[in-house]
Amino acid sequence: MSDEGSKTPSNFIKHIIEEDIKNNKNEGKVQTRFPPEPNGYLHIGHAKSICLNFGVAAEYNGLCNLRFDDTNPSKEESEYVQSIIEDVRWLGFDWAERQYYASDYFEKLYEYAVQLIKEGKAFVCDLSSDEIREYRGTLTEPGRESPFRNRSVEENLDLFERMKNGEFEDGSKTLRAKIDMTSGNINMRDPVFYRIQRATHHRTGDTWCIYPMYDYAHCVSDSIERITHSLCTLEFEDHRPLYDWFLNELDVFHPQQIEFARLNLTYTLMSKRKLLRLVEEGHVNGWDDPRMPTISGLRRRGYTPESIRNFCDRIGVAKADSTVDMALLEYCIREDLNKSAMRVMSVLNPLKVVITNYPENQTDELDAVNNPEDPEAGTRKVPFSKVIYIEKDDFMEDPPKKFFRLAPGREVRLRYAYFITCTDVIKDDQTGESVELHCTYDSETRGGDSSDGRKVKATLHWVSAEHALDVDVRLYNNLFTVENPETGDELTEFINPDSLQVLTSCKVEPALAGASPGSRFQFERLGYFCVDPDSSPDLPVFNRTVTLRDTWAKIKKAQK
Ligand code: ATP
Ligand code: MG
C-alpha cells in the first residue's frame, strides 16, 4: 500500500494489541481478517473494518486475511465475491494468497460438530423453528429445554450423519449446542448451529444440504486461520460468550474477539439488506450508482481510495455507537482532489455571449494553469473566440446589491482571458428570459489583467462556443431527505426524489476530449467531476463528485 508504515491514530484496539505484544501473547504475532458475507456489495462501513483490520496488521508486522463468510447459500453469489475482491484491492490492500472461504472449512466444521456430539455437548433437535423460538424464553423469562435434549450420543451421531446425507426435510431437524436454557444471555440458550437447507452453494454446489450457522462457523474459521485478534462490530458483543464457548469446548486455538462501533453516516443507510432493496426496487441504478454508499458507488462518483482511507483514519475507532456527518466524507475527497485534480472550465447552464468587437474567425490561445496546488502540473492553452458561453447564474439583468457578477453595463473578468462589459441583452419574446448577451472586450486585458490598474469584482468561467464539447453532467444529492432514514416506517419514506439531476448539452473546454472513464477534474467554480463509465466519444458523461464550497449559496441563504 502506498502509505505503508504510516501510523494511524491510536485507539483502544491498538492498546490491546500493544499489551498483547508486550506480554508475548501469540508469540507477539498479529493476525487479523476481514470477513465479509458475500451477500451484497461492500459499503463505506465495511471500509472502516477493512482499514482497521489491514491497518493494524500492517502496523504491527502482522497479516490480514480476506475471508468470505459464506455459510448462507440462499443469499450468497459469486458476483458479490468478485465485487468484494475488486473493492478491497481498489482501497489499496493486499492479502497475497490468503484468500479464504468459510466454505473451505465445511468438512472440518462437520468433524468438530461430531466431536461436540461425542462429548455430549450437542444434540439433534426435532423442534420446528417456531417451536424453538417459543421454547427460547425472553429477556425476562428463562427458556425451556427441548424434549430432544437428552438423546443419547449414538442417536445424535446417527441423526446428524443422516441430516448430512439428506434423509430429512429442510427445517425438520437442527443441531444445537447443549449449554443453558436459563442463561441470562439468550444466545447461550442451546443455540442452533447446523440447519438443513437444500440450496446450491456458490462454491460447494450441492455437496452439502446442512450448513453451519454464523456463530459457530465464524469462531472456528478464526481459530483455523490462527487469527489473534478477531475484530467485529458491537452487535456481536452478546455473541462473544458463544464464540468463546465453542472454542473452549473444542479446545482449539482461541482468538480474542474485540468489538468496535460500526460506522453510521448521515443521509444514507448502511445495511446490505436495505441497499439490496434500493437496487431491486429500482430506486437507484444498481449497486454502483454514484448515490449509493457502496465502495463501488463512491468509486463511480469519483472518490479516491486515499480519500476513503483518510476518512477512516479521521473517524477513528471507538467503543460507542455514533453517526458521522456526511460532510466529513466530502471534506476528505475535496482535500484529496484539491491537490491532484486538473482544473478545467465548463459551463453547465450555458448562456450565449457574443463579443461584438472581437474579430470574426479569430481564435486566441490563452494560457491556463492546470493546478495551482501543483506547480508540476503546468499549463495548457484554452481557445477564445467571438462567441462564448457563460453560466446563466453568472448574469442578472436586475442584480441585487451583493451580486457582483455580470449585469447590463457592468465589467467582469473572464478567467485567463479578457475583461468584458455587457452592452445588450437579447430576450425571448415569449418568456422574457435572457437568451443572449452582447458584450465588448478590452484587448488590453489579455490574460485577465488590466494595464491601468482597473479592478473588477468578479471572475467568470467560460467556454468558447466554437471549440466546446457537448457533454451530459449528472449532479447528485443525498439519497434521503433526513439525516437518519432509519426513522421512517418504510425504507422509502424519506427517499429524495431529487437525488439525481441530469444536465444535457453542457459545454466543456476541448482539453477534455477523450478523457477516460474515472479521470477526475475540477470544473472551476463548480466542483469536482469525473468521467462516468457510461461515457462515449460521442457523448461524454460527467458525474459531480462533490461541490466546491459554494459561497454564493451561503450569501443567498443569508439574504432570505
Ligand atoms: P450489513 O449490516 O451491511 O449487512 P454485515 O455486518 O452483515 O453488514 P458483513 O459482510 O458480515 O456485513 O461484514 C463484514 C465485516 O464488516 C464484519 O466484521 C462487520 O462487523 C464489518 N462491518 C459491517 N458493517 C460495518 C459498519 N457499518 N461499520 C464498521 N464495520 C462494519
Ligand atoms: Mg454479517
Q: Quick one: cell of 84?
A: 468484494
Q: From the CB of residue 548, how many other CB atoms can be counted at a distance below 10 Å?
A: 15
Q: Which ligand is nearest to the CA of 87?
A: 1
Cα(459) to centroid(ligand 2), Å: 52
Q: Which atom of ligand 1 is nearest to the CA of 50?
A: 16
Q: What is the pLDDT along the chain (560 residues), one digit of tens a residue?
A: 444 445 778 999 999 999 999 999 999 999 999 999 999 999 999 999 999 999 999 999 999 999 999 999 999 899 999 999 999 999 999 999 999 999 999 999 999 999 999 999 999 999 999 999 999 999 999 999 999 999 999 999 999 999 999 999 999 999 999 999 999 999 999 999 999 999 999 999 999 999 999 999 999 999 999 999 999 999 999 999 999 999 999 999 999 999 999 999 999 999 999 999 999 999 999 999 999 999 999 999 999 999 999 999 999 999 998 899 999 999 999 999 999 999 999 999 999 999 999 999 999 999 999 999 999 999 999 999 999 999 999 999 999 999 999 999 999 999 999 999 999 999 999 999 999 999 999 999 999 999 899 999 999 999 999 999 999 999 999 999 999 999 888 888 999 999 999 999 999 999 999 999 999 999 999 999 999 999 999 999 999 999 997 444 454 555 55
CB 439 within 8 A of CB 355: yes
3-class DSSP assignment, residue 85: helix
Give long-range contacts, CB 8 A cutoff, 24+ apart: 513-521: 513/469, 515/540, 518/299, 520/302, 520/304, 520/337, 520/340, 520/341, 520/545, 521/341, 521/342, 521/343, 521/344
497 Cα distance to chain centroid: 21
CB 476 within 8 A of CB 391: no
CA-based nearest residue to 488, from 267, 257, 279: 267
Q: From the CB of residue 449, how many other CB atoms can be counted at a distance below 10 Å?
A: 12
User: How far apart are the C-alpha atoms of 502 and 544, rounded to whole Å?
Assistant: 10
CB 143 within 8 A of CB 132: no
Mutate to test the pocket of ligand 1, among 213, 233, 257 (most ligand atoms within 8 A of CB): 233
Cα(373) to centroid(ligand 1), Å: 37
Spell out the domain ranges in the chain.
4-260, 272-342+471-559, 346-461
* Dihedral angle over CA of 372, 373, 376, 377, nearest 10: -60
237 Cα distance to chain centroid: 25
Within 418-536, strands assigned E span: 419-427, 434-442, 459-460, 463-464, 469-476, 500-508, 520-523, 527-531
- DSSP-derived secondary structure letter, 232: E
Q: How many angstroms separate the most distant Cα atoms in the chain?
A: 102
Kindly report the CA angle at 304 between 299 and 309, in degrees rounded to 5?
110
Fold equal for 4-260 and 346-461: no
Does ligand 1 lie within 6 Å of residue 271's CB atom? yes
Cα(539) to centroid(ligand 1), Å: 38
3-class DSSP assignment, residue 368: strand
Catalytic residue among 48, 67, 176, 272: 272
Q: Quick one: cell of 83?
A: 465485487
CB 81 within 8 A of CB 102: no
Mutate to test the pocket of ligand 1, among 72, 262, 287, 294 (most ligand atoms within 8 A of CB): 262
Write down the residue that cell numbers 500492517 correspond to. Answer: 58
169 in active site: no
User: 401-414: string of b/e by CB count within 10 Å (b at 16+)?
Assistant: eebebbbbebbbbb
pLDDT score, position 445: 96
What's the first-to-final CA gap in the chain, in angstroms? 49
Within 54-106, strands assigned E span: 63-68, 99-101
Catalytic residue among 226, 262, 314, 392: 262
User: How far apart are the C-alpha atoms of 304 and 518, rounded to whole Å?
Assistant: 10
Q: What is the pLDDT of residues 447-458, one digit of tens each?
A: 999 989 999 999
Catalytic residue among 37, 225, 411, 524: 37
List the residue whose alpha carbon is closest to atom 16 of ligand 1: 46
User: What values do phi and psi take at 414, rounded to 5?
Assistant: -95, 125
Does ligand 1 lie within 6 Å of residue 49's CB atom? yes
List the residue whose alpha carbon is closest to atom 29 of ligand 1: 262
Q: Which ligand is nearest to the CA of 38?
A: 1
37 in active site: yes
Number of residues that this document lists for the chain: 560
3-class DSSP assignment, residue 122: strand
Question: Within 13 Å and on the Cβ side, how many CA atoms surround 99?
Answer: 11
4-260 fold: Rossmann fold (3.40.50)
Q: What is the pLDDT of residues 492-523, one digit of tens each?
A: 899 999 999 999 999 999 999 999 999 999 99
Q: Which ligand is nearest to the CA of 270?
A: 1
CB 261 within 8 A of CB 250: no
97 Cα distance to chain centroid: 25
pLDDT score, position 557: 58
Q: Quick one: cell of 468?
A: 466546446
3-class DSSP assignment, residue 110: helix
Residue type, 506: C
Cα(94) to centroid(ligand 2), Å: 22
User: How far apart are the C-alpha atoms of 3 and 215, rounded to whole Å?
Assistant: 35
User: How far apart are the C-alpha atoms of 433 and 449, rounded to whole Å?
Assistant: 32
7 in active site: no
For residue 315, give every residue at least 6 positions away whose Cβ sits within 8 Å of its Cβ, in sequence order, or none: 48, 263, 324, 328
- DSSP-derived secondary structure letter, 92: T
Q: Which CATH number fits domain 272-342+471-559: 3.90.1170.40, 3.40.50.300, 3.10.20.30, 2.40.240.10?
A: 2.40.240.10
CA-based nearest residue to 32, from 258, 213, 251: 258
Q: What residues flank ion ligand 2 with Cβ within 5 A?
A: 37
pLDDT score, position 550: 45
User: 346-461 belongs to which CATH class?
Assistant: mainly beta
Cα(74) to centroid(ligand 1), Å: 19
Q: Which atom of ligand 1 is nearest to the CA of 275?
A: 3
Does ligand 1 lie within 6 Å of residue 39's CB atom? no
Residue type, 516: S
